[in-house]
A = this chain, B = another copy of it.
Amino acid sequence: MKVHFESLTVATRGKGTYEVTPQVNAIVRESGVRTGSATVFLQHTSASLVIFENADRSARVDLETYFERLVPEGAEYFTHTSEGLDDSTSHIRTALTRSSEVIPVAGGHLQLGTWQGIYLFEHRQAPHRRRLAVSVIGE
């Protein structure tokens, strides 16, 4: 049995989706795990993770537009406003998506479907450096 832990950092340029599949694939390769599972965990509360369609950029545009409407910035009932109009909104968008994604590993590879990519979903307007913790367990 093997256990591998590694951190990685992703620089975002403000709101949007940023693919991290290649970085996670590299960590799985380094782990030497052939069969098991990988946990990708984002150590922030104003950005999140989604596994999403990776073929056509327009699908991600629609996701981003949808979230702008579902959780609008600066709702009149928000009380947590000291860090800007996109603050509470960012936390709520994170709660509606995920802080972690867990993906089985077999044959030494993440068992993602053909059209699946792992995306960091940045909810803040300003660029941020986001840290991910990745653990891979198996044999």
Residues of A within 8 A of B (CB): 1, 3, 5, 35-37, 39, 41-46, 50-53, 56, 58-59, 61-63, 65-66, 69-71, 75, 77-80, 82, 87-88, 91-92, 94-106, 111-116, 131, 133-135, 137-139
Cβ contact within 8 Å between A99 and B71: no
Partner of A61, one of B1, B79, B101: B79
Given contacts A62-B91, A91-B59, A96-B96, contact A135 B3 (CB under 8 A): no
Q: Which of B59, B78, B104, B134 contacts A39 (CB 8 A)?
A: B104
Using Cβ atoms and an 8 Å threshold, which residues of chain B touch A61? Answer: 79-80
**Complex contacts, A134 vs chain B, CB 8 Å:** 104
